A and B are shown apart, each in its own frame.
Chain A
Amino acid sequence: MNKYLLYPGCSMESSAKAYMESMNTILESLDLHFEEIEDWNCCGATEYLGINLIPAYSLIARNLALATKQMHPVNGTGGTRTVVAPCSACYLNLAKADHYMNERPSLGEKVNEALAAGGLHYEAGTLDVRHLIDILVYDVGLEKIREAVVHPLTGLKVVPYMGCMLPRPDYQHRWSDHEHPTELDDLLRALGADVIDYPLTTECCGGHMTQIGPETAFELIRRLVADADERGAQMMVTVCPMCQMNVDAYQNEMNNYFGTDYHIPILFFTQLMGLAFGKEPGELGIGVELVSSRNVLAGIGVEVPVTQEPAAPRKKDEGLPMPRRWTKHEGRKETVK
């Protein structure tokens, strides 16, 4: 059994709990053991770095320091120096702190001075920070994943959406390419899915702009969804909680803003792995997405149980009450289809 230290990240326990559930469900089939870092804290996402430098890096480094306490073999379980983060933003922050504490020793010293106030210490380079899909593709391997498939996703037309914070800036040179990496394509093909080439695979979902500048975010989401739709995809597949949240939860708002009518569900790659491994949708958090994947999955013989009445579709013209600040762009509204 291969052991890794798990840094789940906050969204895995709330908005992306489907990702957590599906990840936990497939681990056994792949002979993986993830041990959660004890008492981990938030990585600060993209917010803390813009407020204060030393506190932001100290916040991240506390997790790295805690992880080193669990590196060593205990009670027959093997040791490991690999931390796995399923969230792309967490992955980047952890990797960034490790990298910069080494590149700029004065930063490392100050962060360690702060950590010492809590009785902790982290030596840059001690841990290997990796993303979940990196472990699955490069440690487990596509061969083993193919062997675990009992229900190939034949006929399911998907676009692989890698997002931006995973392949970039790539401090440790882990990915096949910074702009057009193929790891997710390969993995989905191993599951038997019909993978459609998706040039926007590492374009941004808008990140926190859905909260602070919706107009900017809606345009980024529109590009992603419109292109997936034009290419005939039935579904987008993601590796990141923030990408899932923006494309899923804000798709309806984006439609209202532009007067469009897209309906492209977006699932986590682990949910599709689970389906291909013969697991039940209920064990994989399928059905909690706001843009339902129900009809699409019915097409490949997967029945998603109804957990509740689907919300009544909002009338087209109703739209959203827009803050005055961005109604000036109303003239730009376009109708697709």
Chain B
Amino acid sequence: MPHMTDERVRAGLTHEEDLSLLHEVSMKTAGVSRLEMCIQCGTCGGSCPAAKDMDHTPRMLFAMLRAGMREEVLRSNTQWICVSCYHCVVRCPQEVHIADVMYTLKGMAIKEKLYEDSTAPDFSQTFVDMVETYGRSFEMGLASRHYLRHFPLRLPGMMPMGLGMITKGRMALMPKKIKQMDQLKKILDHAKQLEMTS
């Protein structure tokens, strides 16, 4: 680890190099993330269909991780704009699991309540609530709860589409529930305990 020599202080560096954030994100990611191998080539941002709406391209975000800019990274909208299309993943010359790193950053931002716009975290949480209650996703419940909370003004305009989906039998009014819900609950409860201790 480079120490804070006079030269480094004069050059404007305020901290010793600290890669703990980079490692934390890497270790919290499923599989072997290879995040440490990023060479800052920018292929990810150049491949991203949604980059124009992102605060930072994935490349920038990974440089910020390396620089230990915890709050700025977790507050970025980048991980929430990611559409999980995996274009960057197959093009990355270093084979960084970019999409999975985005999932990790979402999880960390939620736990630390560091996000600017709650639309996406709420949507994920509502979806998860449905799954934890029924074992299945429930589009009708998800859509109505989500739109009421975040897009109430959009609801009237959505009516023709919603009615179309219902009359064509494409949206169930009642949720389906799996048989062994108690088994799934036990599994998820135990998994959550493991998550906290890891």
- A interface list, Cβ under 8 A from B: 10-11, 13-18, 39-42, 44-55, 57-59, 62, 96, 99-100, 103-104, 107, 110-111, 113-120, 164-165, 168-170, 178-179, 202-204, 206-209, 211-216, 220, 249-250, 252-253, 256, 287-288, 290, 307-308, 311, 314, 319-323
Contact = CB atoms under 8 A, between A and B. Distances in A.
B103 A50 contact: yes
B86 A114 contact: no
A17 to B, nearest CB: 6
Contact of B30 (A16, A107, A164, A320): A107
Contacts of B60: none
Given A10-B136, A54-B191, A100 B84 contact: no
A62 B184 contact: yes
B195 A52 contact: yes
B87 interface: yes
Contacts of B171: 14-15
Interface of B: 28, 30-32, 49-50, 53, 79-81, 83-87, 89-90, 99-100, 102-104, 106-107, 110, 119-120, 123-125, 127-128, 131, 135-137, 139, 143, 146, 150-151, 153-154, 156-158, 160-161, 163-165, 167-172, 176, 178-180, 183-184, 186-192, 194-195, 198
Contacts of A15: 139, 165, 170-171
Given A39-B180, A51-B124, A169-B86, A213 B107 contact: no
Contacts of B151: 214, 323
B161 A253 contact: yes
B161 A50 contact: no
| Residue among B83, B163, B176 having the largest count of chain A Cβ atoms under 10 Å | B83
A213 B120 contact: yes
Interface of B is mostly: helix
Contacts of A49: 30, 100, 103
Contacts of A110: 191, 194, 198
A118 B128 CA distance: 19
Contacts, number: 230
B137 A42 contact: yes
A165 B87 CA distance: 10
A45 B163 CA distance: 24
A119 B81 CA distance: 38
A100 to B, nearest CB: 4
B178 A203 contact: no
A107 B195 CA distance: 10
| Residue among A13, A45, A54, A104 having the largest count of chain B Cβ atoms under 10 Å | A54
List the 7 closest pairs (A to B, CB-CB), nearest first. A320-B157, A50-B106, A168-B86, A114-B191, A164-B85, A117-B190, A204-B85
A128 to B, nearest CB: 19
Interface of A is mostly: loop
A55 B81 CA distance: 23
A143 B65 CA distance: 52
A117 B189 contact: yes
A215 B53 contact: yes
Contacts of A165: 84-86
A55 B195 contact: yes
B81 A290 contact: no
B178 A54 contact: no
22 contacts: A14-B170, A17-B169, A39-B179, A41-B135, A41-B136, A45-B137, A47-B127, A50-B107, A51-B110, A53-B30, A54-B195, A59-B191, A110-B191, A115-B187, A118-B187, A169-B90, A212-B80, A253-B161, A290-B165, A311-B164, A320-B154, A321-B156
Given A118-B183, A311-B164, A212 B123 contact: yes
A104 B104 CA distance: 15
Contacts of B90: 168-170, 178-179
Contacts of B146: 211
B123 A208 contact: yes
B52 to A, nearest CB: 8
Contacts of B79: 50
| Residue among B110, B167, B183 having the largest count of chain A Cβ atoms under 10 Å | B183
A168 B85 contact: yes
A44 B131 contact: yes
A173 to B, nearest CB: 11
B170 A213 contact: no
Contacts of A207: 83-85
A249 B128 CA distance: 23
Contact of A100 (B30, B81, B178): B30
Contacts of A62: 183-184, 187
A48 B188 CA distance: 12
A53 B120 contact: no
A103 B167 CA distance: 46
